[in-house]
Amino acid sequence: MSKTQNNTISLGTDPIGKLLARYAIPAIIAMASSSLYHIIDSIFIGHGVGGAAIAGMAVTLPIMNIASAFGAMVGVGAAARISIRLGEGNKRAAEHILGNAVLLNLTLGISIMLIFLFFLDPILLFFSGGDASPETLDYARKFMRIIMFGNIVTHLYLGLNEQLRASGYPQKAMFIMLTSIALCTILNPLFIFVFEWGIEGSAWATVISQSICLAIQLRHYTSKESFLRFKRSSFKFNKRIIGAIISIGMAPFILNVCASFVTRFMNTALLEYGGHGADDVISAATFGSEVGDVYVGAYGIMNRVILLFIMVGQGFNQGMQPIVGFNYGAKQYGRVLKALKYTIFCATTVTTIAFLIGFFFPREVAALFVDASTSHIDQAMVEIVTQGLGVAMMVFPLVGFQIVAGSFFQYIGRAPLAMFLSATRQLLFLLPMLLILPKQFGAMGAWMSMPIADACSVVVAGTLLYFQIRKLRRMEHNMHFSH
């Protein structure tokens, strides 16, 4: 029996704490490093191109989220199904899922690339709210044209990394993602400062790095030493497998799409009402027509910081996924609940640390991205982030619980509940707040919307999780009684 197969079987036998460390630490390192790369990327762009380019990046964020939503749908959905099938001891079915995931990612990747390239200008205008300056839109356009050409690579790269982790290779998945990040970190300053390619250099750094790492993944899945491999017979579309992948992957898909539209409405609110609130740091009267773009750029900085800590929480989620999926498939419900408890504790610890940093050191965080001494735009961004970050993260300690609860339903195959929880924060709570509060309080209203939505979604997630835990405990009791 191969080492990889032993590692897979150990999901049902090793202590939960040891397993979570084994699977979560590589995922955390990879996810945090990925988010750190985006922060470093913004720092390079902010210092090498300027604050207006950061505003352009903020406009592209919801578009990139929609594109990645399809990749997340396939990657996470397939990984969850693979874990459950391996828990049932059905390796052949797991390989069929792998093959269908590749075909689905290729189809979606090509389709999305063509749609976004043909309709890029209208899409940029929509997600900017139609009020962004021509300079901001020009930066966004230059960046997205290159990113969309690499969309197929991005879909395959992210999807195959999820399946690597689910099939017993968490360290290799981490290594591949770290390799991509390291290459990006090297190529970014080279392309921006040495070749003077500007924001386009950052886009090329991303595409080239992911292409190299995709080649490493393809070599893994064609190697005879790998536990799960590409089989010619698996590369046939199977409606049942595709449906199963999409049903589970729909939760992260909805999460990403909702986040994209919420970001669009956030940008619109900031462009229209930023600087008009009594408590806003800079005003439209004193700052002129650029005030909205400055607030959008500041939100882009805040979003990068918040995303870093969410990615660390998601790293714990990714570590939990193969443990929960395997043991749920093996009907070891006590181990499923223990993995859930450990992951909630770890994720909540991370988001509490994030709150302390955002609340007590916002100015130091903002100063990392832009140099306040270089221009009035950069100086204003620092002031806005200093005020807004602490407000936006006011209930962030609770967010760790919400992140884990939503993913847990996804990993045990409860697709409808996972989809519902994915939509609650963004659509049911945050979007209505963004339509109401900025009109009354300007940018401060936009920042206030975030903790209100977080608190409401935690209450909903906690209620649903309480009943699911009771159900799993009954199932565990029945299993012991039947034996």
Return the amino acid letter for 375.
S
pLDDT, average across residues 251-269: 81
Give Rg (Cα) of the chain: 22
pLDDT of residue 4: 42
- H/E stretch holding 4 reads helix 3-9
Q: Would the pLDDT of 480 be above 70?
A: no
What is the CA angle 452-458-460, rounded to 5? 110
- Nearest-CA neighbor of 400 among 456, 348, 454, 455? 348
pLDDT, average across residues 279-295: 73
Q: Would the pLDDT of 2 be above 50?
A: no
List pLDDT tens digits, range 202-217: 899 989 999 999 999 9
More confidently predicted of 30 and 331? 331
Structure tokens at 481: 């009684």
pLDDT of residue 346: 93
pLDDT of residue 142: 92
- Nearest-CA neighbor of 127 among 251, 249, 300? 300
Alpha helix ranges (H) inside 49-198: 51-87, 91-118, 120-127, 134-149, 151-166, 170-189
Q: Would the pLDDT of 441 be above 70?
A: yes
Dmax over CA atoms of the chain, in Å, equals: 75
pLDDT of residue 3: 42
> Distances in Å between the alpha carbon of 332 and those of 16, 93, 240?
12, 21, 26
Average pLDDT value over all residues in the chain? 85
Interatomic CA distance for residues 72 and 35, integer angstroms: 16
Backbone dihedral angles phi then psi of residue 330, each to the nearest 5 degrees:
-85, 0
Interatomic CA distance for residues 384 and 363, integer angstroms: 9
- Nearest-CA neighbor of 39 among 188, 257, 259? 188
Scan for tokens 């929480």, then name that residue.
Answer: 313
> Distances in Å between the alpha carbon of 5 and those of 65, 160, 216?
35, 18, 21
Q: Would the pLDDT of 418 be above 50?
A: yes
pLDDT, average across residues 385-403: 92
Per the CB < 8 A criterion, the answer to whether 27 and 176 are in contact is no
Interatomic CA distance for residues 379 and 286, integer angstroms: 14
Percent of the chain with pLDDT over 90: 31
Per the CB < 8 A criterion, the answer to whether 338 and 376 are in contact is no
pLDDT of residue 392: 93
pLDDT, average across residues 408-422: 81
CA 53 from centroid of its chain's CA atoms: 22
Q: 42-46, 241-245, 324-328: which has the minimum mean pLDDT?
A: 42-46
Q: Would the pLDDT of 218 be above 90?
A: yes
pLDDT, average across residues 234-250: 88
**How far does the chain reach from its first CA to its final CA, in angstroms?**
29
Q: Side-chain half-sphere of 334: how many Cα atoms within 13 Å?
A: 7
List pLDDT tens digits, range 10-36: 777 888 888 888 888 877 876 776 667
pLDDT of residue 6: 43
More confidently predicted of 83 and 3? 83
Q: Would the pLDDT of 483 be above 60?
A: no
List pLDDT tens digits, range 55-78: 787 788 778 878 878 887 898 889
pLDDT of residue 71: 80
> Distances in Å between the alpha carbon of 150 and those of 62, 112, 117, 325?
17, 11, 11, 31
Per the CB < 8 A criterion, the answer to whether 274 and 131 are in contact is no
pLDDT of residue 129: 66
Interatomic CA distance for residues 352 and 60, integer angstroms: 29
Alpha helix ranges (H) inside 361-429: 362-369, 376-392, 399-411, 415-423
pLDDT of residue 460: 94
List pLDDT tens digits, range 80-138: 888 888 878 888 888 899 999 999 999 999 999 999 999 999 998 888 766 677 888 89
Q: Is 215 exposed, middle or buried (0-12, 13-18, 19+ CB in 10 A)?
A: exposed
Please tell me the pTM assigned to this model. Answer: 0.72
